[in-house]
């Protein structure tokens, strides 16, 4: 007998921290291994009331939009079709403090006339927003309004199987914007002001499968320069000698200059084009300096103390 799921899933497991911009492509370099995604890198899958977990939600190298691996969400025949899109893989993270953010992902669906597939943003107690690819080839968005859900079919939008789509949801306070392939297709509103803390990729188990890849989560409350700056580190600080420069964006570092508080340039150095470098400030007088780091993604200025 096939089981009917009663629970949408669990928030248990590791909780990861989202930076100003976080990208997930399910690559081996990010710590992902092929196979079941459950309890890997902050991901869990749908559970049932008996403490079991669905199968076939896996990291795969069969198809990818970025790199060589992706997430595949697939039917689990043990449970049969579901009334809602509750089957799939969920990523839990520390609640994002920002009220202006975007989350995007590449989505590839294998067939029409099979399952509905969706991407869902979840707060502490409620859905914030949802985008659903309908099995008939159209789509709808869903926001929580009051104590209910507001469903809105997207006029004029249709999708085809076996093609990558980039789906993005941007939330700014109570305003929700939906983009497909960077084209705004609908603006909605929600009454939920909870901080987003979980991302779900789901289906209703009617057949077919989907690949998900290139997830990008961005805190839009920061300007572009601030987003870049937040991913650069200089350490130790204070320092009396070598200072390390590193970044989480794999930016190519090209040069560094240091100025004193009077604006005078006291040191410059060309870098080797790697994503990390070392600068020796042993020859500088004790004091406070501004270090400007130039890279292929722009310039970042950090305050550093020589002791």
Mean pLDDT score across all residues of the chain: 88
- Average of per-residue pLDDT across 226-244: 81
The band of 18, judged by pLDDT with boundaries at 50, 70 and 90, is: low
The CA–CA distances, whole Å, from 152 to 41, 86, 131, 178, 186 equal 33, 19, 10, 12, 9
Lowest mean pLDDT among 26-35, 52-61, 68-77, 264-273: 264-273
Q: What is the pLDDT of residue 17?
A: 57
Alpha-carbon distance of 24 to 12, in angstroms, equals 20
* Contact status, residue 179 vs residue 225, Cβ threshold 8 Å: no
CA distances (Å), origin 7, targets 10, 28, 105, 114, 253: 8, 31, 25, 22, 48
What's the whole-model pTM score? 0.71
What backbone phi and psi angles, to 5 degrees, belong to 188?
A: -125, -170
What is the per-residue pLDDT for 19? 58
| 278-294 average pLDDT score | 90
Q: Which domains does the chain have, with CATH numbers?
A: 21-219 (2.60.120.560), 224-306 (2.60.40.3080)
Helix (H) or strand (E) holding 70: strand 70-74
- 131-156 residue pLDDT tens: 999 999 999 999 988 888 999 999 99
Facing residues of 299 across strands? 294
Q: According to the model, what pLDDT value does residue 292 have?
A: 87
159-216 pLDDT tens trace = 999 999 999 999 999 999 999 999 999 999 999 888 899 999 999 999 999 999 999 9
């Amino acid at each position: 007998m096939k089981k009917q799921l009663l629970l949408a899933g669990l928030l248990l497991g590791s909780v990861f921290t989202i930076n100003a911009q976080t990208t997930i492509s399910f690559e081996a370099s990010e710590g992902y291994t092929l196979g079941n995604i459950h309890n890997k890198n902050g991901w869990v899958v749908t559970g049932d009331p008996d403490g079991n977990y669905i199968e076939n939600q896996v990291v795969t190298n069969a198809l990818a939009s970025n790199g060589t691996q992706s997430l595949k969400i697939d039917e689990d025949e043990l449970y049969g079709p579901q009334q809602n899109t509750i089957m799939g893989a969920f990523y839990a993270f520390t609640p994002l403090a920002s009220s202006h953010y975007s989350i995007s992902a590449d989505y590839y669906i294998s067939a029409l006339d099979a399952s509905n597939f969706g991407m869902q943003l979840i707060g502490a107690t409620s859905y914030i927003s949802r985008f659903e690819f309908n099995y008939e080839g159209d789509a709808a968005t869903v926001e929580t309004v009051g104590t209910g859900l507001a469903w809105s079919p997207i006029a004029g939008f249709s999708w085809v199987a076996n093609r990558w789509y980039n789906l993005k949801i941007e939330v700014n306070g109570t305003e929700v914007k939906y983009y497909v392939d960077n084209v705004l297709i609908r603006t909605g509103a929600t009454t939920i002001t909870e901080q987003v803390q979980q991302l779900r990729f789901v289906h209703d188990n009617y057949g077919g499968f989907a690949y998900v890849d290139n997830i990008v989560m961005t805190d839009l409350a920061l300007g572009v320069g601030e987003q870049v700056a937040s991913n650069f580190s200089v350490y130790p600080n204070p320092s009396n000698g070598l200072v390390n420069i590193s970044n989480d964006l794999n930016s190519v570092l090209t040069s560094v200059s240091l100025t004193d508080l009077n604006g005078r340039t006291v040191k410059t150095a060309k870098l080797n084009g790697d994503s990390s470098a070392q600068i020796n400030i042993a020859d500088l007088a004790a004091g406070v300096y501004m270090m400007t780091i130039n890279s292929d993604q722009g310039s970042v200025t950090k305050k550093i103390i020589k002791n």
